[in-house]
Chains A and B, each alone.
Chain A
Amino acid sequence: MLDWLQFVLAPQVVNGLSIGVAVVLMALGLTIIFGLLDVINMAHGEFYAIGAYAALALIGVGLPFWWALALTPLLMAVVGYAAERALIQRVFHSKDRHTLTLLLTFGIGIILEDLLKIAFGANPLRIEPPITGATEMFGLFFPNYRLFLMASGAAVIAAVWVVAFRTRLGAMVRAAAFDRNMAASLGVPVSTVYAGTFAFGVALAGLSGVLLAPIYSVFPTMGRDFVLIAFSVVIIGGMGSIKGAVIAGLLLTQAQSISSLVISPVWSDPLLFGIMVLVLMWRPHGLFGRLGHG
């Protein structure tokens, strides 16, 4: 029994944790954009793919992986800022905001995916992991790159939390999310905060793209695999809640990981959507409240 805990359950839990960190990174960008702008960004998966391709291109011109990791989020922030200013702002103030932004980002996603297909081809490409080898602890054998992914992902999540809840910038964002008009009358540059937050969410998607590329390969439809899980995490955690995304993301991936010991892993996705339905029946607004509220 003890033997089973150590050699079967423990590695599965640790591996689930590394997948969980990846999912939380994706979900954070989604939930922040929804929490502040009230926009469901359907193109999030494609921004994630563009992040991975941007890193691939930067590595292709000779930069080391670490430079690509640092530059890609900056590049993606510019892309996100431009997309918010040029496209989303146009439909943001109309009455059908929810429908229009949903359709708009959905369309952007389809166009971006096809552009990637034209530019890079449909076949999967590889980014070599910058850290190779494995570490052995307590009889567990775990790849170093996945350990790095967990550590860096945890650092990013902590940084997002500090910025959102412990800085003046975060306070401005939360204020704008709670009451846009009041925040504006107190001198918060609301439209800049909106564009900046959207850019930040897109940068997070791009960052996850780079971090996950060495494990999952790079291909035009790569966003689809993760974005569905990320959406479920955001819905279960509470639309717009940072805490909810982190907790729901880690719990759900653990449920998938541990259930995979008994059922075929292909069935762990239906399991996840089943949990989502149950949570929505019990708490229609998800587990936690929205950003800036409560």
Chain B
Amino acid sequence: MIRYHLNAIAAVLALTPLVASAQTGPIRVGVVTPLSGTYAGIGQQVKWGLDLAAAQINAAGGVMGRKLELVYEDEEANPAVATQKAEKLLQVGKVDFLTGTVNSGSTLAVGQVAERNNRLIATTVSFADSITADKCSPNVFRVNARAGMQSAALADWMASTQKNANVFYLGPDYEMGRSTVAAFKTAAEGKGAKTVGEVFAPLDNKDYSPYFGQIRGARPTVIYTSVAGNDTVRLFTQMAEFGLNRNVQVVGASGTVTSQNLAAIGKAADGFVTGVGYSPSIDSAENRKFVADFEAVNKSKPDLYGADSYGVLFFYKAAVEKAGSTDTDKVREAMRGLQWATPQGMKTMRAGDHQAMQDMYAVKVVGGQFQIVGKVSAGAAIGPDACTRF
């Protein structure tokens, strides 16, 4: 037994130089993202964005001369699976950095795993405000826009088109739905809108028609919804069938209508407006090049998830090069206050809560295409820093 232990220790000692020499091998980035299940469509955009960014960075010489290597794990949009996969990537895969989580619950859970293992994670998708507010972590960063920022742009647009709108809220009944509805309600009421009712439907609901009675009774001029994926397809189709969207402005969260489900919704999506941090129609040289590169490889347009996942590797690259190392403490220090270039322009990582600041857009669906109808500057959209842990 003792001999066995000694052997084990010898083996560990023998491995130590290998770990040290990893400083010169490729930099490994672990991606915990849903490649199957309800959010598989979102995971697909995440993977396309990351793969494209890694290929471009490596072709241009890598990060401090080292190549980026992506290691994927399927989290099935399930926080319990996500923590296991993250633990595996950190312990066995020896990754230097984590990204890819979609479900807000997965991001919060994997954030704790990263904290225990003293590594950093950045989400590129999750909306829930709490991730960079009351549940913030020194090891978690968010490069995409959170619910509050999306709401700021949307509420601004709504106030400019309708004075004192009567808004009805219909959200999916889980953390993301409750958080997005609360965020938009605050933003809209701050601009003078009135709340005439709210109702929550289970995730993956099949028939929304029983919910329409309350909407009819409330007589809203605006309906806000934050359902996503296939739920949006059913909700919008049924609203059109029942004539519920006649003379009513339908607005929603960034994830409600995206390039991914727009085709399935078809004409019923026309006129929908959302507040979002990215649109393929942003008119800049960087974005036009990004959209062209993305379409050439993937035969599909990028949406907000694809664009922000593309951007996160440039964020990591800039931080590592500024720190001159992949050491967690040095990279964290470099990330705080960092400015970096993305397809949608320069972003700044706010040091106080690890939330990226960026310009926000109001985007409208017209004839099956997204059009920008409003813009709010980064400083006006971000809102106060509510993180007290660091």
Q: Which residues of A contact B (CB under 8 A)?
A: 4, 7-8, 11-12, 15-16, 19, 124, 134, 136, 141-143, 145, 215-217, 225, 256-257, 260-261, 264-266, 268
Contacts and interface: CB of A to CB of B under 8 A. Distances in A.
Contacts of A266: 173, 200-202
B163 interface: no
Interface in B220-276: 230, 234, 241-243, 246
Interface in B192-213: 199-202, 206-207, 209-213
A11 B230 contact: no
For the complex, would chain A's binding face be called helix, strand, loop or mixed by DSSP majority? Answer: helix
Given A134-B242, A142-B242, A264-B200, A4 B209 contact: no
B217 interface: yes
Given A134-B241, A143-B241, A11 B207 contact: no
Contacts of B214: 260-261
Contact of A11 (B173, B211, B212, B246): B212
Nearest to A215: B207
A268 B206 contact: no
B243 A134 contact: yes
Interface of B: 173, 199-202, 206-207, 209-214, 216-217, 230, 234, 241-243, 246
A260 B209 CA distance: 10
B61 to A, nearest CB: 42
B216 A15 contact: no
Contact of A257 (B200, B210, B217, B230): B210
Contacts of A257: 210, 213
Given A124-B230, A142-B242, A260 B213 contact: yes
Contact of B242 (A143, A225, A256): A143
Contacts of A261: 213-214, 217
Given A8-B216, A8-B217, A257-B213, 12 more contacts: A11-B216, A11-B242, A15-B212, A217-B206, A260-B210, A260-B213, A261-B213, A261-B214, A264-B200, A265-B210, A266-B173, A266-B200
Nearest to A258: B213
12 contacts: A7-B216, A8-B217, A11-B216, A19-B207, A19-B210, A134-B242, A217-B234, A260-B210, A261-B214, A265-B211, A266-B200, A266-B201
A292 to B, nearest CB: 36
Contacts of A215: 206-207
B171 to A, nearest CB: 12
A11 B213 contact: yes
**Nearest 3 Cβ contacts at the A-B interface:** A141-B243, A12-B213, A143-B241
Contact of B201 (A124, A142, A216, A265): A265
B326 to A, nearest CB: 39
A11 B206 CA distance: 19
B293 to A, nearest CB: 31
Contacts of A134: 241-243
Contacts of A142: 242
Contacts of A136: 243
Contacts of B202: 266
Contacts of B217: 4, 8, 261
A256 B209 CA distance: 12
Nearest to B198: A264
Contacts of B210: 15-16, 19, 256-257, 260, 265, 268
Given A134-B241, A260-B211, A216 B216 contact: no
Contacts of A145: 241
Nearest to B200: A264
A171 to B, nearest CB: 39
A148 B227 CA distance: 29
A268 B201 CA distance: 12
A268 B207 CA distance: 14
Contacts of B216: 7-8, 11-12
B13 to A, nearest CB: 48
Nearest to A18: B209
A11 B207 CA distance: 15
A78 to B, nearest CB: 29
A216 B211 contact: no
Contacts of B246: 141
Contacts of A11: 212-213, 216, 242
Contacts of A256: 210
A8 B217 CA distance: 5
Nearest to A4: B217
A175 B390 CA distance: 80
